[in-house]
Amino acid sequence: MTYTEALAFLDGFANYERKPPAHYGRKTYSLRRMVELVRELGDPQERYQTVHVAGSKGKGSTAAMMAHVLRCAGKRVGLYTSPHLVRFGERIRIDGAEIEEEAFIDLVQEIQPALDAFREQGVTYFEALTAIALLHFARQEVDAAVLEVGLGGRLDATNVVRPACCCITTLDLEHTDRLGTNLVEIAREKAGVIKRGVPCVTTCLASARGTVIEDAARARGAPLRRLGIEFQLETRKDERPRGNSLVTVYGDEWKYSEMEIGLLGWHQRINAAGVVAMAELLKRQGIWIEEEAVREGLRSVSWPGRLQRIEGRPLVVMDCAHSKASALSLRSSVEELFGEKDRRIGLVGFLSDKDYRVFLEILGPLMDGWIVTEPNSPRARNAEEVADFLRGRQGQGATVDVRTRQDALDAARKEAGPGGLVLVTGSVYLVGEMLARGGTGE
């Protein structure tokens, strides 16, 4: 089996990243087959500690920060995230290194009989990939693995773990066909990651979570740490040339003063606060993390595609925002960090299940022009539809042009001019391809 053949074998299962569930007919959502699948593989997830991160926004960044903090504490750490930006191997990493092609091929071939046996039960692409990640981490003898939930939480394939702690980040309306049509229903799905007696950190606002997360933690006897209640965040601008945020995070019995956060944006300060709270919870379970490891981990973490700066003239900033909440965070970050640019051009593309109208209404006042294209996905929304909406906005006063993915970035740079800013956003898939085309996909 070649690497291409291994990837093709996995693509033979229902892949909701590429096509909506309706394409595959009626599906029964259940965690049972995933439980049975990993049991068939010897329950590899029980051979190391895990940290489980759910949420609508910020869960990938939080997972990356947590993994890097654990690495700085001297641990051998696995990190499982989705989707990838540029290379498939980004999804499964150990100590920052992507899974090697040969290791991936070996694992696919090893579990192929088990996957084939579960094919009739409707095993999915994400379930198969999660099983491979869990087995890989066990084979490589990691000390800990940080797992980002793929979708929801309660029925997500990653929810077969019993973690040392879990985290629920910002909530937003998303995947309403599967998670629920309001924040209460979505919060209930996310709260499904809370296990009996396992501590949980949440950084989502009380107005978004209602009492759902509190009720779930109480019912399961899980200690809960809430931002703004059990732990607090203070922040100020660093006046040094790097200009990153300095944050102070503290609880009743601990305090981390003026830590530098390597990732840009207000939302990353909130994510960092959750990581600090988790580090404190892990200490209580014997997973010792020195304060210096927390500081260094948050300062030096890298997470491409999240307010990622590509220096040059014009400056290019890439961000995977694609929802209302992420658009609001992105707008405040652009105003704070790049408000002085001569001309700001938005390079955007969306998937068909995203509310692009709300997204563009939020970012519209910042932009002097738009380049619209289509992400490289079967679920991409038609670029002309998006462009027509932008042209029809009253008082927009901005130029709008539709381009192919091949020339969209060059067109946006030309439109922005040497003193301007190009903001690439709207889709993880679009940002990934533009990173690759821009030569910064490392």
Domain 308-437: top CATH class: alpha beta
Domain 3-300: top CATH class: alpha beta
Instruction: Centre a 10 Å sphere on the Cβ of residue 348 and count the other Cβ atoms it contains.
Output: 29
Q: Which uninterrupted H or E stretch holds 246?
A: strand 245-250
Q: Residue 53 forms beta bridges with which residues?
A: 148, 167
Angle at 357 between CA 355 and CA 360, to 5 degrees: 110
Q: Which residue has the higher pLDDT, 424 or 14?
A: 424
**In the chain, where are the structural domains located?**
3-300, 308-437
pLDDT at 13: 92
For residue range 232-291, list pLDDT tens digits in order: 999 886 655 455 678 999 999 999 999 999 998 888 999 999 999 999 999 988 898 999
**Taking the mean position of all CA atoms in its chain, how far away is CA 158?**
14
Cis peptide before 199 (omega within 30 of 0): no
Q: What confidence tier does 122 reach under pLDDT thresholds 50, 70, 90?
A: confident
Quick one: tokens of 419? 């003193």
Quick one: tokens of 48? 């190391």
For residue range 129-148, list pLDDT tens digits in order: 999 999 999 999 999 999 99
How far separated are the first and last CA of the chain, in Å rounded? 27
Q: Residue 336 forms beta bridges with which residues?
A: none
Q: Mean of the pLDDT values across residues 101-122?
A: 94
Strand order from edge to edge, sheet including 315-318? 308-310, 315-318, 421-425, 344-348, 369-372, 399-402
Kindly give the residue spans of alpha helices, DSSP state H, lying in 73-211.
101-118, 125-139, 176-179, 183-190, 206-209
pLDDT at 241: 45
Residue 339 has pLDDT above 80, yes or no: no
C-alpha to C-alpha distance for 433 and 373, rounded to whole angstroms:
12
Residue 441 has pLDDT above 80, yes or no: no
pLDDT at 182: 80
Q: Mean of the pLDDT values across residues 293-300?
A: 97
Kindly give the residue spans of alpha helices, DSSP state H, lying in 163-290.
176-179, 183-190, 206-209, 212-219, 266-283
For residue range 3-36, list pLDDT tens digits in order: 999 999 999 998 888 776 666 665 667 899 999 9
Q: What confidence tier does 322 reach under pLDDT thresholds 50, 70, 90?
A: confident
Q: Which uninterrupted H or E stretch holds 361?
A: helix 356-363
Q: Which residue has the higher pLDDT, 271 or 171?
A: 271
CB 138 within 8 A of CB 30: no
Write out the DSSP string of 214-242. HHHHHHTT--EEEBTTTBEEEEEE--STT
Q: Which uninterrupted H or E stretch holds 69?
A: helix 59-72
Q: Any residues with CB less than 8 A from the CB of 111 and at least 6 apart, and which?
A: 41, 128, 131, 132, 135
Determine the longest span between alpha carbons in the chain, in angstroms: 61
pLDDT at 325: 83
pLDDT at 66: 98
pLDDT at 151: 86
C-alpha to C-alpha distance for 279 and 290, rounded to whole angstroms:
9
Q: Taking Cα atoms as reference points, which of 226, 326, 316 lies closest to residue 268?
A: 326
pLDDT at 160: 98
pLDDT at 217: 96
Quick one: tokens of 57? 């926004």
Q: Taking Cα atoms as reference points, which of 267, 37, 68, 199 lies closest to residue 134?
A: 37
Q: Mean of the pLDDT values across residues 183-194?
A: 91
Q: Residue 359 forms beta bridges with which residues?
A: none
pLDDT at 176: 55
C-alpha dihedral over 125, 130, 132, 135, to 10 degrees? -160
